[in-house]
Amino acid sequence: NAGVTQTPKFRILKIGQSMTLQCTQDMNHNYMYWYRQDPGMGLKLIYYSVGAGITDKGEVPNGYNVSRSTTEDFPLRLELAAPSQTSVYFCASRQQGGAQPQHFGDGTRLSIL
Amino acid sequence: GIQVEQSPPDLILQEGANSTLRCNFSDSVNNLQWFHQNPWGQLINLFYIPSGTKQNGRLSATTVATERYSLLYISSSQTTDSGVYFCARSPGGGADGLTFGKGTHLIIQP
């Protein structure tokens, strides 16, 4: 099993550009999450999804959009990139039901210049 | 809001030493995880431990949910243990995301 796969691993954007960060998981998990990690800090929740067609905001959703058309995929879109969105982005998933651990991808390092 | 506090923020040890990292949380916990973020930025799942004690090789963890803290023990430290250790928790059995602490930055010197 590949687990949670994120692409790309690195990306540099110019201010105002848009891009989509890809996340896919092969564990048939219903719950998926996007976090961002700023330098010297822990991760903060951007958006999450409990299943296909259902998404909800986390702690820091401004400037981002998500969609969930399939169980496997949970892309994160930046419409108008800003320097404040320079960060490392992590995708995670977990099994539905009870208390289950979250499994993380390797992250996408994004710089906005 | 929900608080997760980790201590110490930084720790420098010699190879072979033992260490204890602490995580305090301000609310009830249903899911508590310990992660190691290696120098390449990858988050490695160490323990899923909402309560009780678990051991995996040189690492062990204990969570006392009623007193709202968790401890991570590292014995016989190796240089490969260096990195940042995060504690993260979520309150309930739903789809809640994890709230992370700021981490403990551990440096193991040869």
Tell me which residues of chain A, numbers 51 to 110, contact chain B at a CB-CB cutoff of 8 Å.
Answer: 56, 58-59, 88, 90, 92, 96-104, 106-107, 109
Domain boundaries of chain A, sorted by first residue: 4-73+88-112
Q: Is B31 on the interface with A (CB under 8 A)?
A: yes
Of B30, B45, B102, the CB nearest to A99: B30
Q: Which fold has domain B4-90+103-109?
A: Immunoglobulin-like (2.60.40)
Average pLDDT over residues A106-112: 96
Distance of CA A53 to the CA centre of its chain: 16
Q: Which CATH number fits domain A4-73+88-112: 1.10.3720.10, 3.40.50.970, 2.60.40.10, 1.10.600.10?
A: 2.60.40.10
Which tokens is B82 given?
């260096």
Better-predicted residue by pLDDT, B89 or B93: B89
Q: What is the mean pLDDT of chain B?
A: 92
Classify the phi-psi angles of B57: left when phi > 0, otherwise alpha if psi is within -120 to 50, otherwise beta. Answer: left
How far apart are the C-alpha atoms of A96 and A32, rounded to whole Å? 10
Provide the pLDDT confidence category of residue B92 given band limits of 50, 70 and 90: low
Report CA-CA distances (Å) from A87 to A19, A28, A39. 14, 28, 8
Q: What is the mean pLDDT of chain A?
A: 94
Give the nearest chain A residue to B89 (CA atoms): A101
Classify the phi-psi angles of B83: left when phi > 0, otherwise alpha if psi is within -120 to 50, otherwise beta. Answer: left
Domain boundaries of chain B, sorted by first residue: 4-90+103-109
Residues A91, A40: contact at Cβ < 8 Å?
A: no
Distance from CA of B33 to the nearest CA of A (A): 7
Residues A59, A45: contact at Cβ < 8 Å?
A: yes
Percent of the residues in chain A that have a pLDDT greater than 90, as a whole number:
88
Q: What is the pLDDT of residues A51-105, one digit of tens each?
A: 999 999 999 999 999 999 999 999 999 989 999 999 999 999 999 877 788 999 9
How far apart are the C-alpha atoms of A7 and B100, rounded to whole Å? 23
Report CA-CA distances (Å) from B51 to B6, B36, B61, B65, B100. 17, 19, 9, 6, 17
The phi and psi torsions of A83 (rounded to 5 degrees) equal -55, -30
Q: Do A107 and B41 touch (CB under 8 A)?
A: yes
Residues of A in contact with B93 (CB under 8 A): 97-99
Q: Do A99 and B101 touch (CB under 8 A)?
A: no
SS3 B66: helix
Q: What is the pLDDT of residues B25-71, one digit of tens each?
A: 988 777 899 999 998 899 999 999 999 999 999 999 999 989 999 99
